[in-house]
Structure 1
Amino acid sequence: MPGKVSPDDLLAHVFERTGAADETILQGPADGEDAAAIDWPDGDGTLVVSSDPISLAASQVGRLGVPVATNDVAVSGADPRWLTAVVLLPTGTDERTLEAIATDLDEAAREIGASIVGGHSEYVDQLERPLLSLTAMGSTDRFVPTGGAEPGDRVVLTKAAGIEGTAILAADFGGDLAVDPEIRERAEGFLAEISVAPEARVVREYATAMHDPTEGGVAAGLLEVARASNVRLEVDRDAVPVREETAALCEAAGVDPLCIFGSGALVATVPEDALEDCLADLENAGLEAAAIGTVRALEGGDPELVLDDEPITEPIEDDLYPLWEAADADD
């Protein structure tokens, strides 16, 4: 099954093998943490660094790649400023594909004010579709980790569940799904909303933890916050915003809106007494958000997401992977 390496395997084989010790590293590899934090040598703020690949979205891979990479920097409290891009293409790919990816990268980076400062590109015999990997960097005076949630905090979600997954469903599978063409067209437009940098700039003033839900959707992102923070998150499924387009496409595809790629939403925890101010500031900035749950202390057992009455402790697989596998099998 494709997807992320499991947290248990990372703990067993990766997190203890990170090269030389360096006292300037404030946050290194850890369960649920998607960005590193490094003290600037002169002590003036913190450098935040994150890397992300994208390969399974056949359409507009460059357009998706920039926000997918920079979101992890934004939710760490930094403004994304620099990017490097590695572009790997199947051997024989038409040069127009490279031009299209580079154009998408350029436009998406300009939209969030980031500069592409380097990278690499080549053709690879073993690839069947383009593979894009980006490293994003930014600086901040206050690093916000995934693992900072405290008991009593409220859980906030911006925009809605499944925004990235909805755009992928419409672009890669929409022609095969029984949905209104107008719904599909609107859903494809969700690609313009993948970045969470605007809401992160607002929420970082209040947040104890922030996280960018990606693979496995909002549900997986919530569980990652719980694991990183060693807490229990109690979330009301009905409180999680799901757009009409997402509901329609997910119903047609037979997938859960909370378990498809979730970039475009920001998961955050904020103190109870800061919740109203946080939501008001988001509304004043023209950004949708909702309180969807509460952070609780563990009373024994493992960190968990309690979605309605269902406790979830094991990593959540993304519902889109079986669709890609089925499509590949039909080719």
Structure 2
Amino acid sequence: MLQKLLLPFDHIRDSRWMRVFFHLFIFILAMMFPSFFSAIPTDVQPTLLENAQWKGALSTLYWFAFIILCRGLLYDRSSLVMGIIAGTIWLFFGDPAAMPFWAAITTLVFHFCRSRHSLMNVHGWYLFIGVLMFLSYQKLFVFNVPPLFLILYGLMFVSLFLIKKYAQYIEVRNQQRLKIKQAQVKFEEQREQEVKSALSRQISRLEGIGHLPAALKKELNVITNTARLIELCMQRDERDEQPGRLFLERYLPMVETIVTKGLSLSNQLKEDQQQQSLNEQLEALRTLGLAFQEKHQELLINDQTDLKTELSTLDKMLKTDGYRK
């Protein structure tokens, strides 16, 4: 809503001729503005009634003030808002006829503070206008400002300074938190990648084990083939990544321990003990193979559910389009 109201002023800012007419308008407005205070008790009203020159001086003051306020309206609305606030506060303490001066001088001060790192030649022109405006104000009103207004005026600057510093602190803190979070995410991604690589290497080591009895080799092949299928499920579906990884991290070391230690013991045990050890290893690998196959089937449930959903959606689309009754 506010952007729509300010849109015409954006057009004025972007057009040189519209800016010329706009400044002509504020000049006419400044010439007429003292008449607005003729019915309001002010410190300058009696003088205005007695001397037309004072009315011209007040019009000049308003013209300078409107030029600065116009600058704020077109180019720095944040400073203009602070000027309006200062002018409103002044109404409770001083002469209403001086309100445009306080609004303009505050706008100018805030504009210079905000633009202090990028000052241009035009700022010298506005500083000159500000000095003329201040001299006109001092001549018309005498620089007699209530102490309470000066206190509130100073508090406004201090408050904005503290708010700016706090906003900068919050921004720095948020950036630090973001960097920490990004570092944590990167660390987790690297860790997951390292774990996946470690699991893949572990499966490869099991696949490369030779010199095993045929029965053990057969059961080991069942486990390694199923482990590869689980690994494939983890790659295809993020939902399967964590349960699949936890399962492989838990059981692959057991498989490797059974096979390597069994292979080492088979060369050291007596013949009858070798057969007993072989049977125990074979039973353990069969049980592990069944566990690997069962886990693989669990991971396929998500794919089956997705497929059923797709088929159901397709069936509804066909019925909606009249291709199926």
TM-score normalised according to structure 2 size: 0.22
Question: Between Structure 1 and Structure 2, which shows a larger proportion of strand residues?
Answer: 1
Larger radius of gyration: 2
Question: Between Structure 1 and Structure 2, which shows a larger proportion of helix residues?
Answer: 2
TM-score normalised according to structure 1 size: 0.22
